[in-house]
Amino acid sequence: MAVWPSFWMLVTDVLWPNSGEIDIIEAVNNLDSNQYALQTTSGCFLGTNSIQSGSILRTNCSTAAGCVVQEKKPNSFGSGFAQANGGVFATQLDVSGIYMWFWPVKTVDRTGDMFN
pLDDT digits (tens, 9 = 90+) for 42-59: 888 888 777 888 999 999
Q: What are the pLDDT digits (tens) for 56-93?
A: 999 999 888 899 999 998 889 888 888 989 899 999 98
Which one is catalytic: 21, 91, 101, 108? 21
With contact defined as beta carbons under 8 Å apart, do 72 and 54 qualify?
A: yes
What whole-number percentage of the chain has pLDDT above 70?
A: 82
Which one is catalytic: 17, 24, 26, 58? 26
Between CA 60 and CA 15 the distance in angstroms is: 19
Query: pLDDT at position 57, please?
Result: 93
26 is catalytic: yes
